[in-house]
Amino acid sequence: MLEIAHMAKAFGGLHVLRDVTFSAQSGAVTALIGPNGAGKSTLVNIIAGALRPDGGTVVLDGDDVTGSSSPRAFQLGISRTFQVSGNVGNLNVFESVALAAYRRGGNYKQANRLAREELERFDLWRYRNDRLGDIPTAMMRLADFARGMVAEPKVLLLDEVMAGLTPHEVDTVIEQVRYCRDQGVAIVMIEHVMQAVQALADHVVVLNHGEIIAQGPLSEVARNPEVIEAYLGTPPADAETAQTSG
């Protein structure tokens, strides 16, 4: 289980995160949603060790892992996906999975065997010799999953894995997220595609301006007026009444 408590982060005078507290259960999907600039990516970067928080704690299965470096966080069992772009497209599919497999210990042969198993599980074995940038987008996302999962993580951070996929592809990826969840991994996903949030999220955390404005099951959160306002803005009629009454 991953517990985030009183997380705070500021860039200069800009408070990106303020007193963020939530937990992500193992074997469950926690969705981080919120408008652009809400601080979701910053939060994920802190959990993965790419950024240091100004305050607050990250606790993984009872151990305080706050402020670990990226490689250390990975060794502790926090895997993350990346939005494949730019140079990353040059990298080999097989190698990217094999390299992550070294976390489970062992040597060249063992890492390759684990990578092969994982690629076959995700039905990606046929793409093993290709560059990440050359395979279809949905397959690229799955390759990223395979890379995350081959390390047998305790936490898997998914950063907008559904972006740019067709509804059919989203369904395929949803299948795979369910599979990862059923392995007992605590999944934290930043997601804008509601189809995926609806299908997967056991727990939804809504961030706006660096603060949690609601959390709970999607059905509850979706009715929360503050959430609706954050996403859609204040309706013109309400805005007028708000002005006159305020």
Q: How far is the CB of 116 from other proteins (least distance, A)?
A: 7
- CB nearer to other proteins: pick between 36 and 85: 85
92 makes contact with other proteins (CB under 8 A): yes
Which residue of 3, 19, 61, 130 would you call a contact of other proteins, by CB under 8 A?
A: 130
Kindly tell me the sign of the dihedral angle through the C-alpha atoms of 124, 129, 132, 133: negative
**Residue 73 φ/ψ, nearest 5 degrees:** -60, -40
Question: Is 22 within 8 Å of 30 (Cβ atoms)?
Answer: yes
DSSP 136-150: -HHHHHHHHHHHHHT
Q: Which residues share a beta bridge with 216?
A: 204
Q: Which amino acid is at 65?
A: V
- CB nearer to other proteins: pick between 19 and 169: 169
Cα–Cα distances in angstroms (integers) from residue 212 to residues 20, 38, 142, in the given order: 6, 9, 30
123 makes contact with other proteins (CB under 8 A): yes
Q: How far is the CB of 152 from other proteins (least distance, A)?
A: 12
Contacts for 96-100: CB closer than 8 Å, 24+ residues apart:
96/132, 96/143, 96/147, 97/143, 97/146, 97/147, 97/150, 100/147, 100/148, 100/150, 100/151
Site string for other proteins, 43-82 (x = CB under 8 A): -----xxx------------------xxx-xxx---xx-x
152 makes contact with other proteins (CB under 8 A): no
Q: Which stretch binds other proteins (CB under 8 A): 9-17, 25-33, 109-117, 234-242?
A: 109-117
**Site residues, other proteins (CB under 8 A):** 48-50, 69-71, 73-75, 79-80, 82, 86-88, 90-92, 94-96, 98-100, 102-103, 108, 111-112, 116, 120, 123-126, 128-131, 134, 147, 151
